[in-house]
Amino acid sequence: MSRAIVAIVGRPNVGKSTLFNRLVGAPLAVVHGTPGTTRDRVYGAVDWGNTSFTLVDTGGIGLQRADSLNDAVIAQVDLAIEQADLILFLTDLREGPVGTDLDVAKRLRRTNKPVLLVANKGDSPRDRIHASEFYELGLDAPIVVSAIRGTGTGDLLDAVLQRLPPESFAPVEGDEDRVSVAIVGRPNVGKSSLLNAIAGETRAVVDDLPGTTRDAIDTDLEYAGRPLRFIDTAGIRKRGHIEPGVESFSVLRAMRAIDRADIAVVMLDAQDAVTAQDAHVAGYIHEAAKGCVIALNKWDLVEPSAEAGGLYLATIRKGLHFLDYAPAVFTSAKTGLHVNRVLDAILEVADQRDRRIPTAQVNEFIHKVATTHPFTRKGKALKILYATQASTRPPTFVFFVNEPELVHFAYRRHLENQIRREFGFQGTGIRLVFRHRGE
C-alpha cells in the first residue's frame, strides 16, 4: 500500500517543526524561535493505529518579505499542499486568529483538500478557553494540542486517520503475482540506464545531468516467466543536500515509490565509496522492511584486479551493515554486464518474501534459541511463550511474551539473525512483533 501524505501548514513560528518532531518521534526538523527557520520541506514517517503515513513539515506562509527566498518557501508549501492527502493547518492558540491565519484559511479552502484546524500551545486550561475564537476561520472546531508537551497529540492522530481519504490507502493497481521493484539511489548513479538495459529499449530519459528523472516511471515486463513492474525514481539525496524546488518534490515521490514497491534495487556507483546519501536511501528501505538488492553500477569503469571485487564488497558491507542480508551484484547498465544477475537476484528475493515457516517449526526453533541464549533485563527474565509467522511480504513473526517492554533492541536483532541463519530470508526485511501473552 502507498503511504498517505499529511502536510503541516501555517504562518511562521506557530510550532510546525515542534509538532512535526513530536509526531515523528525524532528531532528531524530544526526548531528555532526565529520565523522562517524551516525553508525546505522535511518529511518523516508516523506510525499510529496500525497505520503509517508520511508527515511533511513546511516553511511559514506570510513572512513580510518580498524576495526570491520567500518566493521559494511559498513554492515549496504549494508543492506540499498539492501532493498532500490531508492538511494540518496549525495556528497559535495564545495569539488567537490573526490576519495571516485568515489568508491561509482562504488559500486552503481553494485547494478542496481535507483540512484539520489545529491550535497549538494549549499548555494550560487558561490557554484553551480561547479555542472558540478560531471559528471565524470558517473551518471545523480546532483540535487543541501542545506540541512541546505532547498534550492532545493522540487525539490529533486519531482525527488524522479518520479524515484521510480511503483511496489514499488503496493498494497499487495490478495483479498480486506481479513483483513491484523500485530503482533507487542518489542522483547520477545510472538508475534510468539500468531500467533501459532491463527493458531492452529506452523507456526512461537517460542523461548525465543529476536529477533528470523527476517522476516515478512504471515499466511492466516479464522475466523468466514472471511479471515485474519497475519504478524508476528521482535520485534521493541526503536531507541536508536537497535543493529547493522541484528536487525536494521528487524526493517525496521517490519515497512513495519505495512504499509501494515489494523490492528496492539500491544503485551505488562502483567508482565511489558508500556515501551518507547511499546510507540514507538504504536506511529508509530497511526501516520499511522491503526486499533489497544492491546493484554496484559502472563496474566496467573500475580498474580490473583480482582483489577489486572482494575489497569493494567488504567496503559496502561495512557502510551498509544493516543491509548485510541483501545480495550485491556487480553490474554495468551501460554495457549490460550482469544485468541478468540483477533480475535473478530480484526474483530470488521475491521468493524469500513469500516464504512461510510452519508454526511448529518456528516454536521449536525459538524455544531452542531462548533456552540457549536467555535474556534478562532489569532483573526480569524475558519469557517467549509462543511464536508464529503471521504474514509474508514482509515475513512477520509474532512473539507472545510475558512482558514486551523487556525486549531490548540488541535481543531483537539477535532473534532476527537467528531466524535468518535457520530459515534464510535472504534479501528481505523481517518484522518482529512482541505482544503480551493476554493479547
pLDDT tens per residue, range 374-402: 898 878 999 999 999 999 999 999 999 99
The distance from CA 32 to its chain's CA centroid, rounded to whole angstroms, is: 25
Task: Report, as an integer, the average pLDDT of 222-251.
Answer: 63
Q: Output the nine-digit C-alpha cell for 345.
A: 537476484
Task: Report, as an integer, the average pLDDT of 241-267.
Answer: 69
Q: Would you state the pLDDT for residue 215? A: 47
User: Is the Cα dihedral 92, 98, 99, 101 positive or negative?
Assistant: positive
- Pairwise pLDDT comparison (73 vs 361), residue with the higher score: 361
Q: Would you state the pLDDT for residue 71? A: 59
Q: Would you state the pLDDT for residue 51? A: 82
Task: Report, as an integer, the average pLDDT of 415-421.
Answer: 95
Give the integer Cα–Cα distance in Å for 153 and 24.
11
Task: Report, as an integer, the average pLDDT of 150-178.
Answer: 77
Give the integer Cα–Cα distance in Å for 78 and 14.
18
Q: Which of 397, 428, 178 is nearest to 290 (CA)?
A: 428
Q: Would you state the pLDDT for residue 29? A: 52
Q: Would you state the pLDDT for residue 49? A: 79
Question: Is residue 350 scored above 50 in pLDDT?
Answer: yes
- Pairwise pLDDT comparison (33 vs 61), residue with the higher score: 61
Does residue 322 contact residue 286 with C-beta atoms inside 8 Å? yes
Q: What percent of the chain has pLDDT over 90?
A: 45
The distance from CA 109 to its chain's CA centroid, rounded to whole angstroms, is: 29
Task: Return the top range by mean pLDDT from 41-45, 49-53, 107-111, 112-116.
Answer: 112-116
Question: Is residue 230 scored above 70 in pLDDT?
Answer: yes
Task: Report, as an integer, the average pLDDT of 292-303.
Answer: 93
Question: Is residue 32 scored above 50 in pLDDT?
Answer: no
- Pairwise pLDDT comparison (241 vs 146), residue with the higher score: 146
Give the chain's domains with CATH numbers: 4-169 (3.40.50.300), 179-353 (3.40.50.300), 359-436 (3.30.300.20)
Q: What percent of the chain has pLDDT over 70?
A: 80
Task: Report, as an integer, the average pLDDT of 357-379.
Answer: 92
Question: Is residue 2 scored above 50 in pLDDT?
Answer: yes
Other C-beta atoms within 10 Å of 297: how many?
A: 27
User: Is the Cα dihedral 411, 415, 416, 417 positive or negative?
Assistant: positive
Q: Would you state the pLDDT for residue 283? A: 87
Give the integer Cα–Cα distance in Å for 287 and 164.
23
Q: Which of 105, 129, 128 is nearest to 116 (CA)?
A: 105
In sequence order, the 6+-apart residues with CB closer than 8 A to the CB of 250 are 211, 213, 214, 215, 233, 234, 235
Q: Would you state the pLDDT for residue 60? A: 75
What does DSSP assign to residue 273? P
Q: Would you state the pLDDT for residue 37? A: 39
What does DSSP assign to residue 97? -
Question: Is residue 293 scored above 90 in pLDDT?
Answer: yes
Does residue 397 contact residue 430 with C-beta atoms inside 8 Å? yes
Question: Is residue 134 scored above 90 in pLDDT?
Answer: yes
Does residue 121 contact residue 127 with C-beta atoms inside 8 Å? yes
185 - beta bridge partners? none
Lowest mean pLDDT among 209-223, 268-282, 328-342: 209-223
pLDDT band per the 50, 70, 90 thresholds, residue 214: very low
Scored b (16 or more CB within 10 A) or e, 24-53 reads beeeebebeeebebbbbbbbbbbeeeeeeb
- Pairwise pLDDT comparison (201 vs 56), residue with the higher score: 56
User: How far is the CA of 405 from the CAs of 65, 146, 328, 436, in angstroms?
Assistant: 50, 27, 36, 9
Question: Is residue 255 scored above 80 in pLDDT?
Answer: no
Question: Is residue 216 scored above 80 in pLDDT?
Answer: no
Q: Which amino acid is at 180?
A: S
In sequence order, the 6+-apart residues with CB closer than 8 A to the CB of 360 are none
Mean pLDDT of the chain: 82
pLDDT band per the 50, 70, 90 thresholds, residue 83: confident
Task: Report, as an integer, the average pLDDT of 310-322.
Answer: 91
